[in-house]
Chain A
Amino acid sequence: MTAEDPRDGVANDRPLATLSLNDALAAQSDSETVVDVDEPTQQLVLFRLDDQRFALPGSAVSEILPSDQPVYYVPGLPASTEGVLHLRGKIESVISLHQLLGLPTPEVTSKGMILLVRAAGVTSGVRIEQLDDVCEVTQSMLQAPPETLPGTLRPYVSALWQIDERQALALLDPEALFDAYRQGLG
């Protein structure tokens, strides 16, 4: 057994600094990037309307219903009301957000899924055109809506998520949507 020369591999003959174990460990830990795993996150349900990307907070979406869920037309309601669905002994409305968000109304009734949304003391189905994902994002990734956001969207968008350089996604405020709908908008 031979003692290792602590200077093995050192190209010059400068004396090495002596550190205590604590200092060495502290220095080592400081040198690493710390990931804050406690950063608050938010679950989002990502979907599309008129090929534009939107999201609703996962906390407000209680269920995602398949596109073939029967919806019954009810007369005497605005065109943005698709009808009602009969789900496990309850009746829930099904609405479209196109008019409220200033999007063109699809010529053919959309056959996308239905998000069952709870907000402002109300539960209602919301018809979407395409479900993209359900994911967790950190709060820091959500930015305040910019001034350049179209006026029709501004009352209903609580945050913007810049997914990449080309794509952004608008996080909708379900309470604002339902309040506006009840007030006769959309």
Chain B
Amino acid sequence: MDNFEQIEKYVSGRMTETEKSAFESQLTTDPALKNEFALQRSIIHGIQKARIAELKTMLSQIPVTSAVSAGLATGKLVAGVVAATVVATASYFYFKPANTAPVTAKNESIKTEIKKEKPIQPETINSNKQEEVTAATSVKSSSHKPTPSIPAATKAKPKINVLDPTEELTTPATPSAKAKEDVLSATVAVSHVAVEVNNSEKKYSFHYQFQNGRLVLYGAFDDGLYEILEIHGDAPSLFLYYKNSYYLLNEKQTDITPLSAIQNTQLIQKLKEYRSRQN
């Protein structure tokens, strides 16, 4: 291993402990090595600093909700469109409400809450998953409210006036947790399709596209709520609900396409029905 390689290995933290101590003792006796070492260390630190700056610049370009205006409901981030996936078995109940009155009544109490700016805690979702098992056998009373467990870590920490890091994430847990008791024999699953809002593109004020399997919404979706509905019919279809209008989403649409509201009143009526099950 020549000097250059050694220095590099040392500075980039790729040396073993033995190599390290050997190198360090060599440094004390070899001034030329020491010089080169100082230079290399500066250069590598420089590269690292440049990368840190690059990453920070990248992060700075992401639109976020200001912490200062946090109390207001006008965030830029529409974080949570929560939901349960009601698959297969539920369809029976949707279309035969008269025959299944008690079940429908329960369905109506499904509370899939849409919350702005408040990401849902993963635990909540997990608990929904667990509920899959029990949901089929036990129908819980709709007055039952599961208490989200707040981790012990929320207790105050010393010195700095500490906020509870989980508090924000836990807040919406109650409403979404409610959903699980109402799903009956239906399966609740977590969807894999991700939604991203991009409001940095001036050109696209109300558009969408599918990009690598994720839905990208373009426009000022920040001051409203959006919901994505999927209807499993003969062919699965995706719809966007936003500010009292419904929009058809074509999953094969990889180009940025303007969103136009659905005019067909029959279809709108149907979609309304589906949505009301959720709310």
Partners in one complex: no
Q: Which residues of A contact B (CB under 8 A)?
A: none
